[in-house]
Structure 1
């Protein structure tokens, strides 16, 4: 089964109404499927790598 497109983005991790989002520097958001332990990184600049 194909894995899809691989993405690697660095930006600010923010709490969102339904979990967490990566708020991009140029605007826009990526909604993330991450564990609740990500809360300790909320507000920090992080790098996220995964496939869509």
Structure 2
């Protein structure tokens, strides 16, 4: 989770694309980005663990 927080902090401007919109729109954009990265990291971890355990 720390890595996602770091990435989010480092790339917030790029993620939002310079939007200065409504708070709800900004929240939704950030939420979608975090969810996408959690899924990606989860899949990477699952692949890594499977390879470690010979599956």
Using the size of structure 2 for normalisation, the TM-score is 0.22
Larger Rg: 2
Which structure features the higher share of strand residues? 1
- Between 1 and 2, higher relative CO (CA 8 Å, sep ≥ 6) is seen in 1
Which structure features the higher share of helix residues? 2
Using the size of structure 1 for normalisation, the TM-score is 0.22
